[in-house]
Amino acid sequence: MPSSTPTVESPPRLVEVPTLLPRYLALAYLALVVYASLHPFSGWRDPGLSPIFFLTAAWPRYWTVFDLGINVLAYLPLGFLLALTLRRLPGRWTPACVALLLGALLSLCLECLQAWLPARVASNLDLACNTCGAGLGALLTIWHGERFFDGFVNLQQRLLASTPHAELGLVLIGLWLLTQLSPETILFGAGDLRHLLEIAPSLPYAAPAFFALETGIIVCNTIAIGLITRALLSDRSSPYLALAVFFFLALSIRTLAAAVLVDPLNALAWLTPGAALGLLAGGAIFSIMLLLPASLRIALAGLTLMAGTVLVNITPPNPYSAAALATWRQGHFLNFNGLTRLTASLWPFLALPYLMMLGRRL
């Protein structure tokens, strides 16, 4: 007689879909490492020595544990992302070894280029620490890489909309969050090209005008970034909860950056009257716009993004942020400051083509 014991079915497992996110993240992080290593890109000169002279140089006279740790940690995510991108190479150790070699080659090339920059010092110790960091990141993929990748793919299927290039949108959102680490910029403000083009501010500072412009910038960018994020979210998930968490994360990053890089007592210095009004008004308008069709939301995201960029470029500098900038620009944070400012300046001009691409798909 056939057994009457009921069979217990295992819970359905989400089918793995191809994702290009590791590749996009690796390319984005690679660009950030190159910029941070060669900033400020000025004063190039011929040192009159071989570009690899530092390989046989003596142990650097001045170094700190903090410097060594920063150089290791800077390349650890790069090694992890490169190995994850190369995970389809044959063999268990092949992706990690290739990622290690690529990280070491990148560090070697950047150290050679630093020999032509008077503000930078080429160092064999930096090369060793960078290579060590890339190797540690690559090793992490052997132990946890597949688990991390499978978990992310499952999460992506649950939370993200099944639209083309959703992974690229996630990278853009991550870069926008990076811009919130700069305590000198207006909250959520991006697209200021004046320092890149060396254009002097056209308007003098006046408190009432600055209040109005700051409020407008925050309203426009709250709507724009919120609508872009909503376009990436699946209708199956809870978009309202996800969006609330996202904005809470952005404000937390801003607060933590001000506390760590400037002064814990000024952690909430970004919460000016203009910022508070801008968040309230922008949040209210954004909540209403969520009821609109997807194609209209994309169009409004582009319009508010351009409007916010225009307002940023006509807003006079806030003299009260000068003290924060003077406190922050020291040591490694000088390079980090240049990195976050460049990302903030270019972000709207990267996001707008992405919105146009999304609009054509709808």
Mean pLDDT of 227-253: 87
Contact assessment for residue 275 and residue 152, using Cβ atoms and an 8 Å cutoff: no
Contact assessment for residue 142 and residue 93, using Cβ atoms and an 8 Å cutoff: yes
* For residue 330, pLDDT beyond 70: no
* For residue 9, pLDDT beyond 60: no
81/140 Cα distance (integer angstroms): 10
The predicted pLDDT at position 212 comes to 93
* For residue 5, pLDDT beyond 60: no
Higher pLDDT, residue 67 or 172: 172
Q: What are the residues facing 233 on neighbouring strands? A: 160
By mean pLDDT, which of 10-14, 62-66, 115-119, 136-140 is the weakest? 10-14
32/345 Cα distance (integer angstroms): 14
Q: How far is CA 107 from CA 124, 183, 311, in A?
A: 10, 29, 39
* For residue 100, pLDDT beyond 50: yes
* For residue 119, pLDDT beyond 70: yes
187/198 Cα distance (integer angstroms): 22
| CB burial readout 72-108, b (16+ within 10 A) else e | bebbbbbbbbbbbbbeeeeeeeebbebbbebbbebbb
The SS3 call for residue 202 is: coil
* For residue 24, pLDDT beyond 50: yes
Query: Which tens digits make up the pLDDT trace of 126-185?
Result: 889 999 999 999 998 887 766 777 666 676 667 777 777 788 888 899 999 988 987 778
| Residue 132 burial by Cβ neighbours in a 10 Å radius (0-12, 13-18, 19+) | buried
Residue 62 C-beta-side C-alpha neighbours within 13 Å: 2
pTM for this structure? Answer: 0.77
Which residue type is seen at 206?
A
Nearest to 27 by CA among 167, 156, 123: 167
Mean pLDDT of 3-12: 42
The predicted pLDDT at position 40 comes to 73
DSSP secondary structure letters along 81-144: HHHHHTTTSSSSSHHHHHHHHHHHHHHHHHHHHHTT-TT----HHHHHHHHHHHHHHHHHIIII
Determine what percent of the chain is predicted with pLDDT higher than 70. Answer: 83
Mean pLDDT of 289-298: 92
198/195 Cα distance (integer angstroms): 5
Quickly state the pLDDT bin for 17 (edges 50, 70, 90). Answer: very low
Q: Token digits for 131?
A: 């290579």
* For residue 72, pLDDT beyond 80: yes
* For residue 328, pLDDT beyond 80: no
Quickly state the pLDDT bin for 287 (edges 50, 70, 90). Answer: very high
63/166 Cα distance (integer angstroms): 43
